[in-house]
Structure 1
Amino acid sequence: MARKQVTRSLPDGWDVEVTYAANGLEGIEAIRAGKGEMVFLDLTMPEMDGYEVLEAIRAERHKSIVIVISGDIQPEARDRVLALGALEFIKKPINKDKLAEVLHQYGLM
């Protein structure tokens, strides 16, 4: 449900191919397979959490642009994901206008 909500929040007409991952391990495997130019990442996932995925992206030197979308809005969580290389942190539930604002801010669309 949350993954589909993110997909519905993507800007209209944005020409991207979407790949879903049911958990962090599937997510990092998709990134390793070249399907992670841009990653929308939750922090709470089975197998590997979002922090572990960010650590793997960093350790393996993937060039993924990561935007964390999470209900964990503690300042420590935001600081930690940014320190691990995430571009931005957006709170759940996702707001389509906020996502578009972030994408524009960083020149991603």
Structure 2
Amino acid sequence: MSLSILLVDDSKIVRKVIAKELPIIFRDQELKLTEATNGEEALTYLFANNYDLVFLDLTMPVKTGYEVLEALKEKGVRANIIVLTADIQPDAEKIVRELGAIGYIKKERPFNTNPLMKILQDTGML
């Protein structure tokens, strides 16, 4: 069985780093990865497909991650969304959790998989 993942980030570098880590994290599963570069593209994918896991940046062109979460909540679309962001607003984590995100991770260099692994274990996805 494959794991369907949507990776939404306007940074090609971030998408590349995350995409490289996913097979290591989910080493026992086949992955089907779809990438989106902005919130509008993400919504198009999310309204048309079911994903097992979504990684969502907050600060993007066209539509922000906040707008994506709001649109999904408004339409009643449930998804396992982990926000992965460099957003430094003090209330960002509280806001995205209220909008339905299952996790919130600050982007770091180099990318640290420990917070992601904890969220995945806590939610039973790993």
Q: Give the TM-score of the pair, scaled to structure 2.
A: 0.79
* Structure 2: segments with no counterpart, 5+ residues: 1-12
- Quote how far apart the aligned CAs of 1:89 are: 0.3
Who is 1:19 aligned against? 34
Tell me, yes or no, if structure 1 residue 95 matches structure 2 residue 112. Answer: yes
Render the CA deviation track for 1:54-82: whole Å, top value 9, x for unaligned. 00111111121110000114331111111
* Structure 1: segments with no counterpart, 5+ residues: none
RMSD across aligned C-alpha pairs, in angstroms? 1.4
Q: Closer, same or farther in 2 for the Cα pair 1:12/1:48, shift >3 Å?
A: same
Query: Is the CA contact (8 Å cut-off) linking 1:9 and 1:95 kept in structure 2?
Result: no
Which is worse superposed, 48-57 or 32-41? 32-41
Which is worse superposed, 60-69 or 46-55? 60-69
Q: Closer, same or farther in 2 for the Cα pair 1:68/1:53, shift >3 Å?
A: same
SS at match of 1:16: strand
Structure 1 residue runs of 4 or more that deviate by more than 4 Å after TM superposition: none
Please give the residue correspondences for 1:75-94 in structure 2 after superposition, counting only pairs within 5 Å: 75-93=90-108, 94=111
Q: Give the TM-score of the pair, scaled to structure 1.
A: 0.90
Query: Is the CA contact (8 Å cut-off) linking 1:41 and 1:68 kept in structure 2?
Result: yes
Cα separation, 1, equivalents of 2:81 and 2:74:
14
- Of all paired residues, the percent bearing the same amino acid is 39
May I ask how many residue pairs the two structures share in their alignment?
109
Q: Closer, same or farther in 2 for the Cα pair 1:25/1:12, shift >3 Å?
A: same
Point out the structure with the larger strand share. Answer: 2
Cα separation, 1, equivalents of 2:51 and 2:26:
20
Match of 2:56 among 38, 41, 60: 41
